[in-house]
């Protein structure tokens, strides 16, 4: 409501501002000839000043004065300004009235189409200070984060936050939160396995060596830890030992109570990892194709530093060091020795262990 009052007041003020000159009768307005005359007078004064300072010679000053004098005479020969006729005055009144009316119509019409008048501002601090029962999950997390940023030694806080991060898909944050809890308090199986799971999720499901170490540590403390057993088995499946993995998983299926959500997870894993991996060759071919097209594109258009870096890096990844070296040399030549781009590429090549001597 307050918004509408303010908006109405603004519109009214602006309309009033336009009405004032429209309503006032103007008299004695100076015409443009007087303005020109004023300029000429000023120019004459300037000539006198310049002459007094010795910036121009007598002759020059005389010439300039004569020139301005001629302009003044020409000016006085012109006729006077036309003044408004009765019909033009009527037209003027109409134009003025339409202009003032158009202001509220255009502004309110346009604002109604684009604005969100009922949506209050949401300053971050005010949102975080609100009663927790009214806050959204994101706001609650942000609140917890703010609390932990101020009290980084609160291991319990990290314990609460870590699984939430994991559920929201913020895997790196989750791994960091578990690690903090371990560092501040003690390595419990839940924290260790949690960090391992977060790392695995962050690596798109691949169980890294670091994660494996965490799961093993969890199993050392609590041999029956479900997460630990499941992921260690997954790791062996990923390493190619499908039978060992399935042995553990089958054992787990019989150990676990029927209502455990892990049944589904394990069944899925047993189906998923059983498929032999296909398309590895296709993928390699696709990468080669992309690198070749990038090389062709750069052949046609040299001016793309990022493109060159990508090409050189791709060659290095594909273990084609000679091609990488060749691409680097061509790129540096294309930009010319001494150009900033060539220097930048040389530094980049050097970081990959390429030769940048000329």
Partner 1 sequence: MIVEIGHFALVLAFALSLVLSIVPIVGARIGDQRLMAVAEPASFAILGLIALSFAALTVAYVQSDFSVANVWENSHSLKPMLYKITGVWGNHEGSMLLWILILAAFGGLVALFGSNLPATLRANVLAVQGMIAAAFLLFVLASSNPFARISPPPIEGRDLNPILQDIGLAIHPPLLYLGYVGFSICFSFAVAALIEGRIDAAWARWVRPWTLAAWAALTGGIAMGSYWAYYELGWGGWWFWDPVENASFLPWLSGTALLHSAIVMEKRSALKIWTVLLAILTFSLSLLGTFLVRSGVLTSVHAFATDPTRGVFILMILIVFIGGSLALFAFRASTLTSGGLFQPISREGGLVLNNLFLTTAAATVLIGTLWPLLVEAVTGEKVSVGAPFFNMTFGPLIVPLLLAVPFGPLLAWKRGDLYAASQRLFVAFALALLIGLVTLFMIDRISVVAAFGVAVAFWLVFGALTDLALKAGIGKASPSVMFRRFVGLPRSVFGTALAHAGLGLTTLGIVAVSTLEVERIAVMQPGDTLDVAGYELRFDGLVPFDGPNFTEEQGRFTYSDRSGRERGEVVSSKRFYPARQMPTTEAGITSHGFSQLYVALGDRAPDGGIVVRAWWKPQVLFIWIGCIFMMVGGGVSLLDRRLRVGAPAAKRSKPARAVEVAT
Interacting residues with partner 1 between 20 and 59 (CB under 8 A): 20-26, 28-44, 46, 49-50, 53-55
Choosing from 58, 79, 82, 358, the residue that interacts with partner 1 (CB under 8 A) is 82
Sign of the Cα pseudo-torsion (129, 130, 133, 136, in order):
negative
One residue of 58, 125, 278, 296 binding partner 1 per CB under 8 A: 125
Piece of 7-15, 196-204, 279-287, 317-325 that binds partner 1 (CB under 8 A): 7-15
Which of these ranges, 101-109, 160-168, 279-287, 325-333, lies near partner 1 under the rule CB under 8 A?
101-109
Q: Is 176 in the site for partner 1 (CB under 8 A)?
A: no
Q: Which of 223, 220, 219, 249 is nearest to 234 (CA)?
A: 249
CA dihedral 209, 212, 218, 221 (to 10 degrees): -80
Shortest spacing between CB 262 and partner 1, in angstroms: 32
> Exposed (0-12), middle (13-18) or buried (19+): which is 204, by Cβ within 10 Å?
exposed
92 belongs to the binding site for partner 1 (CB under 8 A): yes
| Residues 354 and 324 sit within 8 Å (Cβ to Cβ) | yes
- The conformational region for residue 54 under phi > 0 = left, psi -120 to 50 = alpha, else beta, is left
State yes or no: residue 133 binds partner 1 (CB under 8 A): no
In whole angstroms, how close is the CB of 317 to partner 1 at the nearest point? 13
Considering only 186, 210, 220, 303, the residue that binds partner 1 (CB under 8 A) is 303
Binds partner 1 by CB under 8 A, chosen from 58, 80, 86, 121:
121
Q: How many residues bind partner 1 (CB under 8 A)?
A: 110
**By CB under 8 A, residue 116 contacts partner 1:** yes
Backbone angles phi, psi at 233, to 5 degrees: -65, -40
- Which CB, 22 or 213, lies closer to partner 1? 22
Q: Does 355 bind partner 1 (CB under 8 A)?
A: no
Could you tell me which of 275, 1, 219 has the C-alpha nearest to residue 117?
1
Of positions 134, 280, 338, 358, contacts partner 1 by CB under 8 A: 338
53 membership: H or E segment, kind and range:
helix 32-53
Specify whether the CB–CB gap between 236 and 216 falls below 8 A: no
């Amino acid at each position: 409501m307050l918004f509408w009052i303010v908006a109405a007041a603004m519109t009214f003020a602006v309309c009033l501002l336009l009405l004032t000159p429209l309503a006032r009768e103007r008299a004695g307005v100076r015409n443009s000839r007087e303005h020109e005359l004023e300029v000429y007078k000023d120019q004459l004064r300037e000539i006198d000043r310049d002459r007094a300072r010795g910036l121009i010679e007598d002759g020059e000053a005389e010439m300039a004065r004569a020139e301005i004098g001629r302009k003044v005479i020409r000016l006085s020969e012109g006729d006077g300004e036309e003044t408004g006729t009765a019909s033009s005055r009527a037209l003027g009144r109409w134009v003025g009235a339409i202009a003032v009316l158009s202001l509220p119509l255009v502004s309110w019409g346009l604002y109604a189409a684009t604005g969100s008048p009922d949506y209050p501002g949401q300053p971050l601090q005010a949102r975080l200070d609100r009663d927790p029962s009214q806050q959204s999950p994101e706001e609650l997390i942000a609140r917890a984060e703010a609390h932990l940023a101020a009290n980084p030694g609160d291991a319990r806080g990290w314990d609460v936050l870590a699984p939430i991060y994991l559920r929201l898909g913020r895997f790196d944050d989750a791994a960091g939160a578990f690690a903090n809890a371990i560092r501040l308090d003690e390595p419990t199986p839940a924290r260790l396995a949690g960090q391992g799971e977060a790392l695995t999720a962050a690596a798109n499901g691949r169980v890294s060596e670091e994660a494996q170490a965490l799961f093993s540590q969890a199993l050392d403390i609590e041999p029956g830890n479900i997460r630990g057993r499941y992921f260690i088995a997954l790791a062996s499946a990923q390493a190619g030992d499908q039978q060992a993995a399935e042995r553990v998983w089958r054992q787990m299926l019989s150990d676990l109570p029927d209502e455990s959500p892990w049944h589904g997870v394990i069944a899925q894993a047993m189906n998923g990892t059983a498929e032999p991996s296909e398309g590895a060759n296709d993928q390699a071919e696709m990468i080669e194709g992309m690198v070749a097209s990038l090389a062709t594109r750069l052949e046609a258009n040299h001016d793309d530093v990022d493109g060159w870096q990508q090409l050189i890096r791709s060659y290095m990844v594909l273990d084609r060091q000679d091609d990488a070296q060749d691409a680097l040399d061509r790129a540096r030549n294309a930009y010319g020795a001494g150009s900033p781009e060539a220097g930048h590429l040389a530094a980049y090549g050097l970081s990959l262990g390429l030769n940048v001597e000329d």
